[in-house]
Structure 1
Amino acid sequence: MTGEARIVALGGGHGLYASLTALRDLTPELTAIVTVADDGGSSGRLRSELGIVPPGDLRMALSALCADNDWGRTWRDVLQWRFATDGPLNGHALGNLLIAALWERNGDVVDGLAWVASLLQAHGRVLPLSADPLEVSALVRDDSGVREVQGQVAVATAHGSIEELRLSPASPVVPRETVEAIDAADLVVLGPGSWYTSVLTHFMVRPVADALVRAGQRSVLVLNVGHDDEETAGTGRADDVRALQRMAPDFVPRTVLVDSEHRDEPGLADAVGRWGARLLVAPVRDGLGAPAHDPHALRRELARVAIEQGLAVRGAERGVAG
């Protein structure tokens, strides 16, 4: 293959930040597609007050892509700066306010994000899953039965097992650029992240779900590490795979990447094999023991996947393909 590989990463929050940190030096043709269902903290307050897409996860993705120089790192830190006051500014991230101001001034979500990317001299671009703010709700089962939980924060912290995920509006406006990016991608990286509210939500937005089905054999699914995610407490990686299969039965990724710690989890190899995907097992967990991916290890394995698919990526370690 000639030219730089076009890579799209989907997710939200800290999981997407990790995958973008891993991918940013592999290609300049990098696009992040970010969930927009957050209703907590600074993002939730701005969403409620201004009726806008929550900017927090978009800000995080932009920060992950900042230029690796004093200019980029300084503006990244400014965007991430969070006020601590006794007044209404308390808890707001400056980047959220900046993004909200650009949206109000320009009247275009994608254009506003492009201006912030330019300010950061970003290694790629950031697009929203939807131009409409999304509300996630779920049916959650616990010892007392099944109840409905509304809102991203409430779903993410609900005690019990999630039986059904719902999204409002059911048919949100999706930017043309978002679907085009997936269709044009040479490699699509889905996950890690909060499984239901940051990963599976992409399959609840029909134009994006259809694009992901088309991109199946160009996709790698990155499973979470550890057992500390409240959304999936008491379940394993095989359960995460089966939840995705139920939601999007036509989507089949080419590769499923899982940390070595989960190699022998019951049912995982069988679930992935029956899916028709390849299971790639590698040590990708943060070496300090945190329930998070090590961006350097994740970069190594994603570079391996890209090279095996014949893609041109930058700076891959010698011998990474085998």
Structure 2
Amino acid sequence: MTAAPTSPRGPGGRPDPLKVAALGGGHGLAASLRALRHVTSDVTAVVTVADDGGSSGRLRQELGVLPPGDLRMALSALCDESDWGHTWSDVLQHRFTSSGPLDGHALGNLLIVSLWELLGDEVSGLDWVAKLLGAEGRVLPMAAVPLEIEADVKLPNGQEALVRGQSRVAVTSGVVQRVRLIPVDPPACPDAVQAIRQADVVVLGPGSWFTSVMPHLMVPEIAEALHEARLTLTLNLSAQQGETTGYTAVDHLHSLQSYAPGLKLDTVIADPASIEDLDELQSHARTHGARLLLRQVGQGDGGPYHDPLRLAAAYRDAFDRFLGDVGEKSG
């Protein structure tokens, strides 16, 4: 196996693991985390906190807490590769089935919220769950307050509608025109901002484009840190039914530019099978200052899911491009 990339910044010339911050939410972020753990042991997940459905939505409404579901999934993706880690990961992901109020709740959500109440601090609570899992890396919320997502949507009949709530935006039958966060310009989690600023590279995506990926660009302190970061964008393998129906890979870059003018990318990772117009995509990647890295990163069965090992190999290729630059700056 190829040696993991390192950042030559340790004391006495000893190379440290490459520092990576991965941004997103839900299944997309979990996919990038499972890949990144094959690349480095120093990964920090920065997770969206706008979920308002299911177990997370119920806890958020009843207790006024950050929605824990996407945070739980990220923690589970970073669990230790041992019987201990996998067992506790399964416990975290376990959902109750009953005819009572526990029905549908994930045990991990209840555990996370319990620690938040006991410790009075979200970051400390997540760190304790990470210790329980033997996780390699940290999981942090993107913002310090729960968020709502509001979208302008063009319906199939041509009319426009206002859709509010992440769970509703994600399954809308219309075309999302624009999304906003409520509250506007929310405060960022300070640890998340620090993790992005200290990272050698930041990974954005894959994931639900408007409800998991784009929200990071609407938190001012996060967006400011991203404008100074070495960014690798991981494109989705297909459009998401509802949220990005009909979107091409180029459309995703168009929307990124509209939400974050001037944002520079180091690398755009795309699976050749998901590209409609290669020349146009290469041109748009260059407008962001990025190279387009074409790699087969989907699962072998052709489903719209990233394969952890294939995606890990793509990340290695993406990160190798600037490792020399990191060493020169450190020296």
Give the TM-score normalised by the residue count of structure 1: 0.93
Any idea what SS the aligned residue of 1:280 has?
strand
For residue 254 of structure 2, the aligned residue among 242, 252, 263 is 242
CA shift, 1:265, in A, is 2.5
**Residue 161 of structure 2 is aligned to residue 147 of structure 1:** yes
CA shift, 1:311, in A, is 6.8
Any idea what SS the aligned residue of 1:165 has?
strand
Runs of 4+ in 1 over 3 A off after TM superposition: none
Aligned residue in 1 for 2:297? 284
CA shift, 1:268, in A, is 1.8
CA shift, 1:279, in A, is 0.9
**Residue 304 of structure 2 is aligned to residue 255 of structure 1:** no
CA shift, 1:264, in A, is 4.1
**Residue 217 of structure 2 is aligned to residue 203 of structure 1:** yes
CA shift, 1:235, in A, is 1.4
CA shift, 1:308, in A, is 2.1
CA shift, 1:290, in A, is 1.4
Aligned counterparts, 1:1-322, within 5 A: 1=8, 2-142=15-155, 143-215=157-229, 218-265=230-277, 267-310=280-323
**In 2, Cα distance between equivalents of 1:184 and 1:21:** 21
Preserved CA contact (<8 Å) 1:186 1:311: no
**In 1, Cα distance between equivalents of 2:261 and 2:253:** 11
Preserved CA contact (<8 Å) 1:167 1:204: yes
**In 1, Cα distance between equivalents of 2:94 and 2:303:** 24
Amino acid corresponding to residue 205 of structure 2 in structure 1: G
Question: Unpaired segments of 5 or more residues in structure 2?
Answer: 1-7, 9-14, 326-331
Q: Report the identity percentage.
A: 51
Any idea what SS the aligned residue of 1:231 has?
coil
Aligned residue in 2 for 1:316? none
Aligned length: 310
Please say which of residues 174-183 and 53-62 is displaced more in the overlay: 174-183
Cα 1:311–1:149 shift into 2, 3 Å: farther
**In 2, Cα distance between equivalents of 1:227 and 1:219:** 22
Amino acid corresponding to residue 88 of structure 1 in structure 2: P
**In 2, Cα distance between equivalents of 1:104 and 1:201:** 26
Preserved CA contact (<8 Å) 2:187 2:219: no
**In 1, Cα distance between equivalents of 2:244 and 2:30:** 20
Preserved CA contact (<8 Å) 1:260 1:284: no
CA shift, 1:263, in A, is 3.7
**In 2, Cα distance between equivalents of 1:248 and 1:163:** 15
> Deviations for 1:120-154, whole angstroms, at most 9, x for unmatched residues?
01010000001210000100012332110000011
Any idea what SS the aligned residue of 2:172 has?
coil
**In 1, Cα distance between equivalents of 2:60 and 2:96:** 18
Give the TM-score normalised by the residue count of structure 2: 0.91
> Deviations for 1:72-122, whole angstroms, at most 9, x for unmatched residues?
111000000000000000000000000010111111110110010011010
**In 2, Cα distance between equivalents of 1:110 and 1:173:** 15
Any idea what SS the aligned residue of 1:10 has?
strand
Aligned residue in 1 for 2:329? none
**In 2, Cα distance between equivalents of 1:132 and 1:227:** 29
**In 1, Cα distance between equivalents of 2:72 and 2:142:** 14
Preserved CA contact (<8 Å) 2:202 2:231: yes
Question: Unpaired segments of 5 or more residues in structure 1?
Answer: 313-322
CA shift, 1:303, in A, is 1.0
